Structure 1
Amino acid sequence: MAALALGVALGAVLVALGGVLVAAIARRGSEGPKLAVPGRAVAHRGGAGERIENTMEAFEHAVSEGCDWLELDVRRTRDGVVVVCHDRELSRQSGRHLDVTKIDYKDLPPYRSPLEVTFSPGSFSSGCDRRIPRLVEVFERFPRQPMSIEVKDDDDDLINEVASLVRSFDRAPITLWASFRQRILSKCRRAVSPSPTPAAPPPPRGPSPTSTAKKNPAKKGLKTDFWRFFNEFLKILEFFKPKF
């Protein structure tokens, strides 16, 4: 259970940081539905310390253990299938030097078992399920389970397809978009915006006497969100401290 605890804590960090970035972007444009469920127990890659990461078996196990949120990663295969997979190059996960984005879904290899847990070197997870699942399968199996979806590639088709699936399953209030890249997050916000954001008017020429005196409320809000999420993360670490 210590490995699951570590995975849960790391997942909470990703959800927190992703939430800060998404919130910062949302403040600059039209707002979508608010997240409906708090996330104190988040299964990172489906709880990679207990089962093989990002598999249906891992998600089943995490939900059975009472995790509030599932955290997962998405990429797009050559034939346009959105898959749940962390690495683009599959040598670590499968032992084969293949690029997820350059092969068809039917040709994806199975995961290794046991598979080393990347955030806990020397620890390995195993399971009966070694298949890379499609995102639509995960949505179908867990239609009301909150999820944090990290978009791994700067791929417009990937982002739009994920947005389409989120809308089809009416998951907007229980889906958090995450990425460590601002460019990707900006595209995600546009993909899920209820209406196109009008372009900002061009700035006036010449210096503005009042512009330097005004503070940016978005930056202030971002700092507030960061410290709020950081304090929440410290509470999570304290909760799991006896299990490390």
Structure 2
Amino acid sequence: MIRTTASRHSHRTAAAFQQYVTGRRTDVAGAVFFLEASDHLDAVCRIAARGDVVVAPSPADPRGGATGAGGVPVVGYSGSWREPGDEIRLDGRHTFALQDYVALPFLSITGRVVVRQRTAKGIAAFLGDADTARYFGVLVSPLLSSAVMLDSGASFGRPRSADDALARVHVTADGEYRDGADGLLLGRVGDARSEIEKTGAADGGRGRGFARIVDRELLEAELDRRPWFESYLAAIGVLRRGSLPARSIDLLASEPGRV
């Protein structure tokens, strides 16, 4: 199949946003920077490296490829991305809604949705739902929809390689660099790229995507009590692709390493 320039750009946009949301590397070679405010675009482009992608507010909502200083690929978006119910539109093609995890069981999925834990209560609900799935085989059905992406899913496991240490950088409106909207503080606008990378590499443990909302030691302890948890996440992914019947979730989750 021959891809047009537009389709290749659309694929890159989707892959970059998925990497930003999940914290798990896709086929984007570098880091994905997501900016809350366009004020920081030039500063971020100056430290961006080969293979990086920058996602930034753009009133024009461009439909084609755009570049920033130094030729860095820039994906423009319109809309807001802070509170449950917010929506953004990337490159005029891809629309996503933001929702709170605790509301997930009650949502009717009619479009692409990103579910963010947002609070310690959200983290506890996610862990509790995993327990229910493992021991009783009952799933939160919207999790199985291919239209739903779980924010910071990679932070429930350990990095698979050193390359995962800086898969994404969320740039807040006041200039903080974080691993996701609620994640580990990596630095501030104006810091050198090497400083951000050093911080990311030095603190690559579980829970880094939730560092601002939950005690990481407590989360580590909760995950240690669930040695099957990464297999549970993998099983969710398998079920989303329709490869196994939903009743298989309890078997997969109870056998670490099977998936």
TM-score of the two chains, using structure 2 as the length reference? 0.25
TM-score, L = length of structure 1? 0.26
In our comparison, the structure showing a higher alpha carbon Rg is 1
> Higher strand proportion, which one?
2
